[in-house]
């Protein structure tokens, strides 16, 4: 039997959950030596399969291209071990992606299969599109309960809730005399998420348990300055005459028009700003730096700035409706899970420092996320009410 035919058969057996340990070992070897075209054909076969839950469509075609092109960028000759598992993710994850809207992959050694005990007494649903908008006069608006249309007015602007569940500021008067005291606050609770289009056209995605404070209108202001606690992704409207400034507890980011992510949760250490497009100037208490696309700047406890090359996809996965993690410790990962599912995480004694690699849709129930984490066989979870117990 030829190597390609053997790969096809082993792959199909794997997708049916019928693989024996020796089958998986052989499949690993074949994925590591298969050429790109063979892997593309495997993925394409799943997308074109009329018996699949989501049959061939233009959307699937685009999804295939996005998956494969993204994975190709990560395949580097100098990183042989990672290459193998990136290749496996290209072929093995697609059925899950089509069938449930979620997927996961591993970039480290594949664990032995583990059948997790059923300890989910009450499953927890994911967070959703909810936030509170506080106007400059102190009025608080619960956005989740608002119908689309006009929901408020402030500083010469109409505030609209759109049909797709975001809020947008629209100018009503061109001669409004603005002042910096007309500040609005957008606040997401634990388990919340929201998108806002500011008065200058800047788009902001606000993650769970976060707060954005900003002028209701930017006209007649020399700079567009906003304050952030928590995490947000920005697509800043270009305006060279008026710099856009994001202020966190320990970092100030200045831009003219660009795309970037800021993680400034108080319990995550220093602020982390990741640049996807354009350029930014970051300032800490004792340092300044110009950041380029693909870089992340982290504020240290001493006020210095540390700059690293990073995978930007990991930094913005939350904005793209995913949990995505790479060599992430369990305690750090569970902070993210707790914010999104509004749960309390309780650790038992001697919980190992397990690190995880994978991705899954944010819109799965918590049981689906924990099942993937349990597949290492080194850590276990029990959900009772809104508490998650972590044990060895």
pTM here is 0.72
Q: What is the mean pLDDT of the chain?
A: 79
Mean pLDDT, rounded, for 7-15: 74
Strand segments (E) across 242-279: 244-247, 252-255, 259-264, 272-277
Residues 273 and 262: beta-carbon distance below 8 Å? yes
Is the same domain home to 62 and 147? no
Q: Are 274 and 316 in contact (CB under 8 A)?
A: yes
Residue 371 has pLDDT above 60, yes or no: yes
Q: What's residue 220's pLDDT?
A: 85
What percent of the chain clears pLDDT 70, i.e. is strictly above it? 70
Nearest to 368 by CA among 93, 192, 85, 125: 125
State residue 13's pLDDT score. Answer: 74
Q: Number of structural domains, the chain?
A: 3
Q: Are residues 146 and 193 in the same domain?
A: yes
Q: Is 91 domain-assigned?
A: yes
119 or 17, higher pLDDT? 17
In contact, 342 and 127? CB cutoff 8 Å = yes
- In sequence order, what are the beta bridge partners of 363? none
What whole-number distance in Å separates Cα of residue 131 and Cα of residue 191? 10
Nearest to 263 by CA among 224, 335, 315, 340: 315
- Among the candidates 221, 247, 262, a domain finishes at 221
Instruction: Give the domain CATH number at 373.
Output: 3.55.50.30
Q: Answer whether residue 233 is part of any domain.
A: no
What the block records as the tokens of 111 is 């664990």
- Same structural domain for residues 162 and 94? no
In sequence order, the 6+-apart residues with CB closer than 8 A to the CB of 59 are: none
Confidence of residue 375 (pLDDT cuts 50, 70, 90): confident
DSSP assignment letter at 303: S
Q: Which domain holds residue 76?
A: 3-100
The encoded tokens of residue 96 equal 């899950």
């Amino acid at each position: 039997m030829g190597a390609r035919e053997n790969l096809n058969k082993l792959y199909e057996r794997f997708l049916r959950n019928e693989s024996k340990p020796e089958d998986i070992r052989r499949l690993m070897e074949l994925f590591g030596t298969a050429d790109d075209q063979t892997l593309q054909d495997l993925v394409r076969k799943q997308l074109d399969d009329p018996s699949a839950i989501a049959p061939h469509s233009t959307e699937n075609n685009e999804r295939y291209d996005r998956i494969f092109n993204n994975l190709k960028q990560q395949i580097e000759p100098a990183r042989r071990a990672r290459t193998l598992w990136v290749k496996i993710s290209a072929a093995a994850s697609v059925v899950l992606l089509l069938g449930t809207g979620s997927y996961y992959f591993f970039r480290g050694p594949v664990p032995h299969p583990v059948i997790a005990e059923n300890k989910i007494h009450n499953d927890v649903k994911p967070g959703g599109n909810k936030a509170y908008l506080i106007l400059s006069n102190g009025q608080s608006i619960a956005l989740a309960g608002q119908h689309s249309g006009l929901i408020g007015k402030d500083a010469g602007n109409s505030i609209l809730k759109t049909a797709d569940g975001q809020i947008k500021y629209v100018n009503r008067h061109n001669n409004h005399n603005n002042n910096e005291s007309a500040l609005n606050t957008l606040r997401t609770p634990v388990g919340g998420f929201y998108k806002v289009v500011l008065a200058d056209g800047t788009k902001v995605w606000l993650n769970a348990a976060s707060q954005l404070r900003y002028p209701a209108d930017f006209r007649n202001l020399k700079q567009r300055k906003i304050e952030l606690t928590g995490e947000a992704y920005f697509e800043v409207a270009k305006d060279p005459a008026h710099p856009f400034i994001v202020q966190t507890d320990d970092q100030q980011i200045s831009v003219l028009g660009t795309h970037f992510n800021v993680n400034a949760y108080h319990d995550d250490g220093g602020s982390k700003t990741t640049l996807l497009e354009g350029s930014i100037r970051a300032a800490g208490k004792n340092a300044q730096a110009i950041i380029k696309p693909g870089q992340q700047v982290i504020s240290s406890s001493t006020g210095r700035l540390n700059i690293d090359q990073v995978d930007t996809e990991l930094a913005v996965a939350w904005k793209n409706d995913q949990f995505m993690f790479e060599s992430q410790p369990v305690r750090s990962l569970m902070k993210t899970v707790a914010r999104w599912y509004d749960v309390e995480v309780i650790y038992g004694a001697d919980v190992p420092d397990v690190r995880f690699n994978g991705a899954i849709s944010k819109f799965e129930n918590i049981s689906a996320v924990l099942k993937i984490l349990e597949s290492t066989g080194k850590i276990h979870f029990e959900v009772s009410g809104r508490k998650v117990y972590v044990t060895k």
